[in-house]
Structure 1
């Protein structure tokens, strides 16, 4: 196998990996990522199809894997494993218990597919990383994963919220739009509030009760970047809460 064959094999594996992690990929983006021509990407996609990979092509949109198709576990490099272990130490200091639980379950699956030698190094690294125990006095939350699922599935949420500024509890029906994290406030949910008829920011540690209503909502056209830019322009900081 010559150098060109090795490069192509590496590119085919990388394309397969990206197809597994992203819903849709375009030939133009793939060509730019790998520094090859679009024609080369066409040949690579055809090669993967001939190898039995069920790739769907959407006219004018791009490529995706057939729903339900599973790719065997991918081996992580030592650098990739180290990065995940480093992030693990930060997540464990997070104030949302649902995120900690989900990350622990995910990282255990990652550790399960590591090579034995890498596992030993990862174990050593995890014992040699520490995060400062000095944390701001904020109450813990347990709703982040529920909110994440509602946000990506466009599900309406019903919450009981304790407003800090007015010191009152209100019942809200909201459409989750985005999540924002800051050292001052920890996790904050940006959502369209049907009570206020506008976008508001809700601190997760001030959400007393939360549940899915069973209703769907139309995806928001506003982008997170535009929302934060407008808030920063109006209040000189995106951290201001308008719940």
Structure 2
């Protein structure tokens, strides 16, 4: 399978998620979202129909999925769905671009399995919920998702780190915890200094997740604070 086929398969899947997320979606909206022509979207919709997906065309409106097409594997109450939307707005305040992107994609997938009645209300809530800080928030890092992956899979990470004195050093670290207090902070065992250190993701110039694993630190975050602070 070449890149163009993989790219189209990815787009078809994403279009299906869009159809499951919203009651009606237009060809123009999809074309803009995926940066393709409307003719390409027409072909993609036809491909979905030919594969058995019940796409309904509403003249002058757009496309929708037949109600009840997908039986959701997980059911959310209206209050739970609202909590997720509120959490999305809190995540938007994050200064890390990768975290915002991954959470946004996850929320789209969660919305796709909601009942239409709840889905309409959560889409309304999305449009009516906003924090002013989001409008001017600058993203100053793009590595939080990778650091989370390394933390949960116990992968060593090689970083080029800029300290407060603007000096750059290369270090091998063992991610332990991620904290937030106006900015994100990574707690990690630094092999260069043989001790736990705090690192700001926005000061990481280069980062590589290594295949080599480290021995998990067998303590909770509270035990870490009790021991080292």
TM-score (norm 1): 0.61
Matched, 1:131 2:128: no
| Alignment map for 1:8-87 (pairs within 5 Å) | 73-87=73-87
After TM superposition, the structure 1 stretch with the greater mean CA deviation from structure 2, 127-136 or 220-229, is: 127-136
TM-score, length of structure 2 as denominator length: 0.65
1:16 aligns with: none
Q: Tell me the SS of whatever aligns to 2:98.
A: helix
What is aligned with 1:150? 150
The residue that corresponds to 2:101 in the other structure is 101
Change (3 A) 1:182 1:136: farther
The residue aligned with 2:159 is 159
| C-alpha displacement of 1:167 | 2.5
Q: Equivalent residue for 2:169?
A: 170
Residue 14 of structure 1 corresponds to: none
Match of 2:91 in 1: 91
Residues 199-228 of structure 1, C-alpha deviations (whole Å, 9 max, x = no match): 001001101110112211111123211222
For the residues of structure 2 that align with 1:139 and 1:131, how far apart are their CA atoms? 16
Judged with a 3 Å threshold, the aligned counterparts in structure 2 of structure 1 residues 135 and 119 are, in CA distance, closer, same or farther, namely: closer
Quote the offset at 1:123 in angstroms: 1.2
Gaps of 5+ in 2: 1-71
What whole-Å deviation, never above 9, does each CA across 1:134-178 have from its counterpart, x for those lacking one? 7998761111111111111110000000001x3211000011111
* Corresponding residue for residue 117 of structure 1: 117
Q: Distance in 2 between matches of 1:73 and 1:195?
A: 47
Q: Does 1:193 align with 2:190?
A: yes
- Give the Cα–Cα distance (whole angstroms) in 1 for the partners of residues 205 and 198 of structure 2: 15
Q: 214, 219, 232: which one pairs with 2:211?
A: 214
Count of residue pairs the alignment pairs up: 159
Superposed CA RMSD in Å reads 2.2
For the Cα contact (< 8 Å) 1:177–1:191, is it kept in 2? Answer: yes
Aligned to 1:223: 220
